[in-house]
Structure formats: structure tokens, C-alpha cells
Structure 1
Amino acid sequence: MTSILPLLLFVAVATVTPGGATTLATASGARFGFVRSIPLIFGIAMSLALLAAVAGLGLGGLLIALPSLQAAVKAIGSAYLLWLAWRIARSAPPVGGAGPARPITLAGGFVLLLLNPKSWAMTVSAAASFALLASNPNRLAMLLGASFGTAACLSLALWCALGVLLARLFRTPRHWRILNLAMGALLAASIIPAWR
């Protein structure tokens, strides 16, 4: 077995770079605080771990072999993320009790990640690139699942903490509108790399 250091570096970079999940974690931290965002973080991390494990078991090969399936996954995921970006951009400031009172749940985070094209791309890429690190698909699935799940927890916690910090800086409804517009725009922009 060769070194897993390149895999760990890939996973760290893939999970910490801005994208749909990191944008949602930041927005949730800003709006609801760190503790109330933990279910979202765990839901996303568990879903990413599962997706990576399934990619290690062979889904990556299926998506590569069937471009139409890959295009359908991208289209559905992109449409959902654009709708979510619109909702974030249009959400009211939490000043005076306005805006949604509940953060995204664990199940909601789990489903959101499955609809994120970046997640599919990075887990399938990892399965293809690092397949030789394991002696069989089951071991590759465990290695990828553990790597992506752990890294996602850590990176999303950092992004959520950034959101908490931003919430301390934003005091007026105007500040919140700017943050919501920025988070919505970033979420929408996170879809672009999936279509290149």
C-alpha cells in the first residue's frame, strides 16, 4: 500500500475550498450560531462520507460510463442549488425575529449534499485517482468515506465559525441583506466549476 498523504491533501483542499456546502455552513453560522448549525454540519459530512464510499465501491465508474446519468445528476443538483441560492439571497435579516426560525436539519444537510454537483465531482475524482491505495473496493470505500467525512466536519466547522464571526460584525438590516446576497451569489457561483 502506498502513502495516503496525497489523498488526505486532496480531501483537505476539496472540502475546505468554497462551494455550496461551505457557503451553507457560513450562512447557517451567521444566522443561527454554531451550536444550532451542528446538525447541518453533521448531515453534510455524513452524506459526503457516504457518497465517497459509494464512489469507491463503483458509482464513479458508472457515472463515467454513462455521461447522460452524469448530466442528469448535475442538472438536478444545479437547479436545486440555484433555488436555494435564491432563497438565501432573498431571506430577511434576523433583526427583530424576521427570517426563518429554524436552521437546516441533519436530514436536510444530508439531502443538500447529495444534490451538490461539486460533491459528486470530487468524490468520483478521488475514487478514480486513488483506487490503487486499497486492495479492494470495500477498503477503498472505507478509506474515502472516513477521509471525506472527517475532513468535511473540520472544514464546515471552520466555515460555520466564520459565519458566527460575521454575524457579530453585521448589526443592521442592510448589513444582513448584503451578507445574504453575497452568500446566495457564492452558492450560485459554486455551480460553475461542475459544468466545465
Structure 2
Amino acid sequence: MLTFAVALFFLIITPGIGVLTTAGIGAGFGAGSGIRFLVGLFIGTNLAALLVVTGIAAVVLAHPIIGPTLLYASLAYLLYLAFRIGWAGSRVAFIERKSAPGIPGGIGLQLINPKSYAVNTTLFSGFHFMAENPTLEIAIKFAIINVIWIPVHLTWLWAGVSLKRLDLSPRTQSVINKLMALSMVIVVVLAALPAAR
């Protein structure tokens, strides 16, 4: 169980679409908007995990037409987000919008996030510690995931809100945007490689 928790921590804390977007919303719109987005992201994370645990994700993604279509559509959208972040101008807002995406945006983002499915598949198909009671093991894994997920994502939100408070030069803010965009592209590519095989 400890190995599972440690692996989970490192899988979640590494920059992914969810945490980078959370930081961006915190930087662009403040803590309140970030919390609303996080609620949606939290729901989406658990829905994606449920789709993995029930096997629905595997069945859908294994379909010769639906699977690749969903994969490439989500990759295209996430790369579009990375482009928007990288060229958001000289203000750390990560995404130029008039309003924050809110709860529906968080749910939607996590449901199309390839990293979410890759991480959940790794966590639920490996790290067995209760082979005699797989249902209880799954319930405990959900609990551990959420206990670690919440503070990690709140930390990224705090980092974004803190960035907003700094009086950074326009050039520095532009560099931060481009680094975040590059991080998103790397995460999208790494998450998509196993799914594309």
C-alpha cells in the first residue's frame, strides 16, 4: 500500500494537463475560479478512474474507429491548449479567456486527458496489496488517490495564484507561458505513446 501511495504521489505531482491548467487558472483568474475548476477536475478524475476500473475505457479505446478518433481528437485539443498557453502574450494567464472554465471545464478536461487514463490504468492494474479482496483494494485505492490528489492540486493552484501576485516583467511572463506550453506538449506526447501502440 505504501508503494502504491508513493508511486501515486510522483505520478500526480509531475506536471500534467490538469495541474498546469489549474496553475494557469489560478494565475489568470484567482483562487475562487481555481477552486471551481478544481471541483470539476476532481469529479473528472474520479470519473476517468471509474471508466478504467469498470473496463469501459479499455473497451471504447480498443474499438478500431472510436478509440483512435477519441485519442487524436483529445490530443489535438490538448495541443491547441498548449499553443494558446504558449502564445498567451506577456501575461501569465496561461489561456487568454474572458472567464475561467469552471466545473464543467474541469470535468471535460480530465475526461479527455490521456495522462489520466494512463495513470489510472497503471495504478489500478498494478500495485496489488489485497489480492484476496479486490473490491476493497479498489475502494482503498480510490481513497488514497483522493487524499493525495487534493493537496497536490491545491498546491499547484496556490503556485498559480502566487505567480499572479508577483510583479514579473512581460518578458519573464512570456517565457513562463512558453515553458508551461512545452511542458504540456511533452506530457501529452508521453501519455499518448502507450495509447497509440
Compute the TM-score of the two structures, normalised by the length of structure 1.
0.81
By how many angstroms is 1:50 displaced?
A: 2.0
Aligned equivalents of 1:114, 1:9: Cα separation in 2? 24
Q: Which of the numbers 149, 158, 166 marks the counterpart of 1:161? A: 158
What is the number of equivalent residue pairs in this alignment? 188
Question: 1:84 — aligned with what?
Answer: 81
Alpha-carbon distance change, 53 to 180 in structure 1, aligned in 2, over 3 angstroms: same
Structure 1 residue matching 2:44: 3-state secondary structure? helix
Matches within 5 A, 1:43-192: 43-59=40-56, 62=59, 66=62, 68=64, 71-93=68-90, 99-130=96-127, 133=130, 135-137=133-135, 139-192=136-189
Question: 2:28 — aligned with what?
Answer: 31
Alpha-carbon distance change, 142 to 127 in structure 1, aligned in 2, over 3 angstroms: same
Aligned-pair identity in percent equals 24
Structure 1 residue matching 2:22: 3-state secondary structure? helix
Alpha-carbon distance change, 19 to 149 in structure 1, aligned in 2, over 3 angstroms: same
CA offsets 1:145-192 (integer angstroms, 9 cap, x no match): 333333222211111111222223343333332222222222122112
Aligned equivalents of 1:26, 1:161: Cα separation in 2? 7
By how many angstroms is 1:6 displaced?
A: 2.1
Alpha-carbon distance change, 129 to 120 in structure 1, aligned in 2, over 3 angstroms: same
By how many angstroms is 1:62 displaced?
A: 3.5
Query: Which stretch of structure 1 is more off in the superposition, 41-50 or 111-120?
Result: 41-50
Aligned equivalents of 2:31, 2:155: Cα separation in 1? 10
Alpha-carbon RMSD across the aligned residues, in angstroms, is: 2.6
Aligned equivalents of 2:124, 2:154: Cα separation in 1? 25
Amino acid at match of 1:91: A
By how many angstroms is 1:24 displaced?
A: 0.7
By how many angstroms is 1:60 displaced?
A: 5.9
Amino acid at match of 1:124: T
* Consecutive unaligned residues in structure 2, runs of 5 or more: none
Aligned equivalents of 1:157, 1:30: Cα separation in 2? 13
By how many angstroms is 1:37 displaced?
A: 0.4
Amino acid at match of 2:119: M
Alpha-carbon distance change, 67 to 140 in structure 1, aligned in 2, over 3 angstroms: farther
Aligned equivalents of 2:2, 2:31: Cα separation in 1? 30
* Consecutive unaligned residues in structure 1, runs of 5 or more: none
By how many angstroms is 1:117 displaced?
A: 0.7
